[in-house]
Amino acid sequence: MNLHAFTEQSKKIKREHQSLIHRKNRRQRHGNGIFDRYENPVLTLEHTPLVWRYDFNHTTNPHLMTRLGINCVFNVGAMNWNDGVVLMARVEGWDRKSFFAVAESQNGVDNFRFWDYPVRMPELEPQETNLYDMRLVRHEDGWIYGLFCAERHDDSKSGDLSAAVARCGIARTRDLVTWERLNDLRTPALHQRNCVLHPEFVSGKYAFYTRPMSDFAATGSGDGIGWGLVDDITKAEVKTESIIDPRFYHTIKEGKNGLGPAPIKTEKGWLHLAHGVRNTAAGLRYVLYMFLCDLKNPEKTVASPGGYFLAPEGDERVGDVSNVVFANGWVARKNGDVLIYYGSSDTRTHVATTTLAKLLDYVINTPSDAMRSKLCVDQRCQLIAKNLQKK
C-alpha cells in the first residue's frame, strides 16, 4: 500500500471508529416493566482505541495490518465517577489474555470512551497468567477496591494444560490509574472466583462474599454464595465461611451460582444481583437473578424472587461462550435510576436501565420459587384468578 492509500485508509478507519463511539443508544420498544434493554451494546471490541490495535506508521506497518488484535470486551465492573459512569472492562486480546481498561460515559448508556492506556495492574507472582472480571467497590474506609479472578496453571496437574487455579485478587486505588496490589484472598476453599467486597464494615471487619468451589470451573463442585469476615484486608483471610445463598436442584442455580457486583444499600435492605448456572443439552446456561438481604445483618436473606431476572435474548445468545449473560457491575444514580451492565456470551457489554423503586418492588413482591410444578401452577392460577376478578 503506497503512502497516499495508507493515509486515506487510516482516515476511513478513524471516521468509522468515531461514528461508532458517538452512536446514540435507544431503548428497545418493548420492555417487561422491570427494566429496559437497549438496541446496541455499550462496549464491543470495535470500541477499543485504534492505537491499541494498529500501528499507524507507514514504514513499520505498510499494509495497515492489525498488530495487536482485540477479541472481546465484556464482564465490566462499574461505579459512579464525577458526574458520569466508569466501567472497568475485561478486554481480551487475540492471544486469549485478558486485561483491565477503563471506559467513561456521561450518561452511562452510550458514548463510552476508553482512557488512553489499559490498567497496569501490579503482578503478584510470575505464575499469574490471566486477570479478569473485576468488581469495583468504593468502601467506607476511603479506598476503591478491585476484586478479580487471578488465574494460573495448576502445576499439580502438569500433564493437563487446561488445569487452572482460581484465586481472588485484591487491589486498591484512589484514581483507577495507580493500583496497590494486596495479597490474594485466602479461604478454606482452594478455588475462589466471583468474590465481592461488602461496601461497609460489619462488626468492625471487612466482609466478603465468596464462591467456594472444589474445582476451577465444574458445576456442582461448590455450595453457593458464601460469606466471611476478615480482620486485615492487606492480609485477607476468611477462616469461617457460611453459605448465604445455596444452589438448588432443578432451578436456575442448580449447577453453580455467584454474586455479581457489590450490593446496593436501600432502606429495605441490601439489594443483590447474582448469576445462576444450569446445565442443558446445549451446554451451560447463565442467567441473572436477584435477592435482598437484611440491612443490619447482611448475611441474612429476606426476599428472593423465583426464577431469573434477566436471561440472554436474540443476538446476546451468540458469541464465544453462547447462551450466557454475566454481570459484575451496576450503578445506582442519585435520581433513583439504576444502570445494570452485563456481558453477553463472553463477547460484548450491554446496559439495562431501571429504578431502585422498581427493583425493590420486583424483589419484595415477586413470589419465591415454589420448587415443585404443582405449587408453581397454584401460584399462576392465583394470579389469573386475581386478574379475572377485575373483569
Task: Determine if the pTM surpasses 0.95.
Answer: yes
- Provide, rounded to the nearest whole percent, the portion of the chain with pLDDT above 90: 95
Q: Where does the pLDDT of residue 155 fall: very low under 50, low under 70, confident under 90, or very high at 90 and above?
A: very high
Q: Which positions ≥6 away from 338 have C-beta within 8 Å?
A: 264, 330, 331, 332, 353, 354, 355, 356, 359
* Statement: residue 243 has pLDDT above 90: yes
Rounded average pLDDT over 152-179:
95
Which CB contacts under 8 angstroms, 24+ apart, belong to 147-150? 147/185, 147/195, 147/196, 147/197, 148/100, 149/193, 149/194, 150/124, 150/184
Specify whether the CB–CB gap between 92 and 71 falls below 8 A: yes
Q: CA dihedral in degrees (25, 31, 34, 37; nearest 10)?
A: -30
- Write out the H or E segment, with its range, that includes residue 145: strand 144-153
- The pLDDT value recorded for residue 199 is 98
Q: Where does the pLDDT of residue 198 fall: very low under 50, low under 70, confident under 90, or very high at 90 and above?
A: very high
Q: Where does the pLDDT of residue 391 fall: very low under 50, low under 70, confident under 90, or very high at 90 and above?
A: low
